[in-house]
Every structure is written in C-alpha cells, then in structure tokens.
Amino acid sequence: MNKLVLDSECLNGILENKPVSRHDINEIYQNAVKNPNELFSAAQILRKKFKRNSVTFSKKAFFNIVNLCKDTCSYCTYKSEPGEAKLSLMSKKQISELLVLAKKYKCVEALFVTGEQPEQRYQEARDWLKENGFKTTAEYLIHSSELALETGLFPHTNAGNLNYEEMKELKKTNVSMGIMLENVSERLTQKGMPHHLAASKRPKARLEILENSGKLGIPMTTGILVGIGETMNEIIDSLFAIKQLNDKHGNIQEVILQNFQPKPDTMMRDEPSADEKYFKLIVALSRIIMPKMNIQIPPNLSPRSYQSFLETGINDWGGISPLTPDFVNPEFSWPEINKIDANSKKAGYDLKCRFPIYPEFFSFISKELRDKISVIENEEGYVKEKYWR
Ligand code: SF4
C-alpha cells in the first residue's frame, strides 16, 4: 500500500520495516533537497504508526543550580563568570523554596542544570559548595534530587560529563538524565570551531557518558545542536551514533533536535540562526533513522512555526515551565501551555503531560521511584490531568 503513496523505493522499504543504511539516508536527503514532500510523508506515516495522535511535554521547573563552567562553547549564553549579573549559585534554601513553589504550580519535573565541573576551575564554586556542605557539584545534585523527591517532584539532572559512579548514585533518585551529544564531529572541536574550548564536548567524551548511561540502564535524553557550522554528513553521523547506542543498550528515551539561535554575548553572535527548511529535513531524517524514537523540538526556539514540525515527525515539546525561564535560551520564553495545547489540537494532536521518563522506560527505574510515579499516573502512563492542569 505504501508503494501507492511514495515513489521512493528507499522510503517504501523503510515503511516496510527494512533496516535503513547510511547510503539510503544520503539518497533520501539528496532527493529531499529537491522536493521534501516524500520525506515528510514518510516521517509522518512512521510518526503516526508509532506515536499515534498524541504529542507530549513535561511540566517542569528549571533549577539553575550553578552556571559557572570550566568550558567555553562559542554559542553558549548560559555560562556565567563570577561577578556577572546572571551568575547563579543556588543555596539549599533557594532550592527548597523553588521546589515548594514548583509543586504549587503543579510542575512534575525538577530539571537540575549545572555548568561543566565548575569547582575544577573556580574558587567561587568551591566556596559555594563548602558553604552548603559539599565537596563536589555531583554530591550537591544527589542531595537536591533527594529533596525534589521528598517534595513530590521527579528529578532529571543535566550536569555535563558526570562520571560512572556519580551517575550510578544519581540513578537512585533521578527517573532519567540528560546530556546533549551536540555533534559527533571532531572537526567542530578544532581551532575556530564552536567546541574548541570545551574539552567536555569532545565526541569521545560524550559518547563515553552515553555508553555509561547504557551500562547503568539510565533512561537518557540526548540530542544534537543544529546550525553550528556542521555539514549534513556530520548531522547524519551524529544521528547514526545515537541510533547505534540505542540499538546496543535500548536506554535512549528521546532525541532533542535543537536549532541554533545566536546569542548577543557569545562568540557566535553574528552567525545566522539554523535555517528552518534545513532543520525540518533533519527532523524528518531523524524519524526515518529512528522510527520509534521520541523526537523533540523545543517550541520556544521556533515560536512562530513550532506546530508545523508535527508534520515532519516530532512527538514531544520537551520540558516547559510555567514558572522559571529557559536559562539556556533566556531570550526565548516558553509558549503558555494552554497555547501549546490549542495549537497542537488545531494540528490534530492531543497534548499529554508525561513524566521526565517516558512510559516505555518505566521498567528501567527502581520500585521506589516507580511507586511514586504510580500515585499520579493515568492508565496510559502519563500524568493525570488533575495533577498538572
Ligand atoms: S554549553 Fe555547557 S559546556 Fe558549553 S559553555 Fe555552556 S555550560 Fe559550559
């Protein structure tokens, strides 16, 4: 039946569950540059087959625990230097207060974000840890995650390159964790490229963290950053690297596709935003490469057109906060949840609030965490409406 729908033999094969090769994807991409309609149709067929008519999001509060960072990425406005107005060094009291407020706002996820091992570079970070009674940022995150659970929120930590033991500890309280692969290209770490001054973004280092998450059975969020000077081949390599990890361990719960937006106080301030047509091709190719994957774009980074990405294969809007800004993209506020709900509906999709772990990964977590989820979970494994609306 698919043969009647699509002319491309390659795409028809994929719709019939044939494994997709690197060569197929190159061919599909070359054809899609001339006319993307067949690619979008195939992505849409797969999306409907595996994700039906829902689109999900996670209602979260963003805890900007510490934004000092030992690395420097050319596009990053999140990182702060000591003395800057945007510096964040959250005290235990501030974390507790925000947790209580987040609960009041019916948030479900506590997103804990830090810069890369700040204590290795900054005395200010070491002093801050000491004042709060910790030696490392990871120890502080373990404590904060316990507090979140006690308050009734589910922690999801994104703190850069944590080591195996740190991740193992955090798995006890975090229902999932995150680390962006960004891109698997070594070229982007060379002089003059965006990851040159960021040792933690070396592809080998990132892949090792993801490999460790697989060994530990942690439901993992990862993704790529699109539009930072990469080639299409490097994007496709990165998507295949994620696919390979997931084929091996089965623990990648979602792939974020983030479109680059230049920030005024960064080295890449004069670079153009990721082109939307190019970005949409990448979204659709991701669905073709990983048909069953949860694929996410952040709606705040495409404020005028995010709903049109539903036609290219995505099934998730990521974490959205009614309470805190997106500290990574502070100039792009999240659309109101009601608006996202209405726009998703208009496009033919039901908005559902998920936990920071997708239902198909519930078997990865401990009984204690699973029991906590079950208290507010509906029959589909999403959050009951009365706990988030
Ligand atoms: S993107 Fe992450 S690693 Fe890079 S400078 Fe910003 S906080 Fe540091």
Q: What is the mean pLDDT of residues 203-232?
A: 98
The answer to the question of residue 93 being in a domain is: yes
Q: What mean pLDDT is predicted for residues 257-274?
A: 97
Q: Say if 167 falls within a structural domain.
A: yes
Q: How remote is the C-alpha of 52 from its chain's centroid? A: 21
Q: What are phi and psi of 153, to 5 degrees?
A: -110, 160
What is the structure's pLDDT at 2?
Answer: 46
Residue 6's pLDDT is: 84
For ligand 1, whether the C-beta of 195 sits within 6 Å is no
Summarised one tens digit per residue, pLDDT across range 308-339 is: 999 999 999 999 999 999 999 999 999 999 99
Environment class of residue 310 by beta-carbon count within 10 Å: exposed (0-12), middle (13-18) or buried (19+)?
Answer: buried
Atom of ligand 1 nearest to the CA of 75: 1
- Percent of the chain with pLDDT strictly greater than 90: 98
Residue 285 pLDDT more than 80? yes
Could you tell me if the CB of 182 is within 6 A of ligand 1? no
User: In this structure, is residue 21 part of a structural domain?
Assistant: no
**Ligand 1 pocket member 115 (CB < 6 A):** yes
Ligand 1 atom at minimal distance to the Cα of residue 200? 3
Among 155, 144, 146, 156, which residue's Cα sits nearest to residue 93?
144
pLDDT for 11 beyond 60: yes
Assess whether pLDDT exceeds 70 at residue 340. yes
Percent of the chain with pLDDT over 70: 99
Query: Does 225 score more than 80 pLDDT?
Result: yes
Probe residue for ligand 1, chosen from 62, 67, 68, 116 as the CB with the greatest number of ligand atoms within 8 Å = 116
pLDDT higher than threshold 80 for residue 129: yes
| CATH code of residue 134 | 3.20.20.70
Q: Which residues are CB-neighbours of 388 under 8 A, at least 6 positions away? A: 59, 106, 108, 353
Rounded Cα–Cα distance for residues 273 and 296 (Å): 18
Q: Average model confidence (pLDDT) for the chain?
A: 97
CA–CA distance, 300 with 239 (Å, rounded to integer): 23
Quickly state the pLDDT bin for 7 (edges 50, 70, 90).
confident
Q: Is residue 77 part of a domain?
A: yes
The structure's pTM equals 0.97
How do residues 100-124 score in pLDDT, each as one tens digit?
Answer: 999 999 999 999 999 999 999 999 9
Q: How confident is residue 5, by pLDDT bands cut at 50, 70 and 90? A: low
Q: Is 200 in the pocket of ligand 1 (CB under 6 A)?
A: yes
Convert the pLDDT of each residue in 53-101 to its tens digit: 999 999 999 999 999 999 999 999 999 999 999 999 999 999 999 999 9
68, amino acid identity: L
Domain assignment present for residue 352? The answer is yes
User: What is the domain range of residue 314?
Assistant: 47-387
Q: How many CA atoms lie within 13 A of 198 on its CB side?
A: 28
pLDDT at 1 over 50: no
**42-48 average pLDDT score:** 97
Amino acid at residue number 370 = R
Q: Which protein residue's CA is at the shortest distance from atom 7 of ligand 1?
A: 115
Average pLDDT over residues 340-355: 97
Residue 72 CA: nearest ligand 1 atom is 5
Let me know if residue 5 belongs to a domain.
no
| Nearest of 237, 283, 249 to residue 47 by alpha carbon | 283
Q: How many structural domains is the chain composed of? A: 1
Residue type, 255: V
Task: Evaluate whether residue 173 is within a structural domain.
Answer: yes
Question: What are the pLDDT digits (tens) for 153-175?
Answer: 999 999 999 999 999 999 999 99
Average pLDDT over residues 367-383: 98
For residue 144, tell me if it sits in a domain: yes
pLDDT at 4 over 60: no
- What distance in Å separates the CA atoms of residue 127 and residue 257, rounded to the nearest whole number? 36
CA 154 / ligand 1 centre spacing (Å): 24
Q: Does ligand 1 come within 6 angstroms of the Cβ of 198?
A: yes
Report whether pLDDT(125) > 50: yes
* pLDDT of 303 over the 80 cut: yes
Query: Is any atom of ligand 1 closer than 6 Å to the C-beta of 291?
Result: no
Give the pLDDT of residue 357: 98
Q: Does the pLDDT of residue 260 top 80, yes or no?
A: yes
Question: How many Å apart are CA 255 and CA 314, to the nearest integer?
Answer: 10
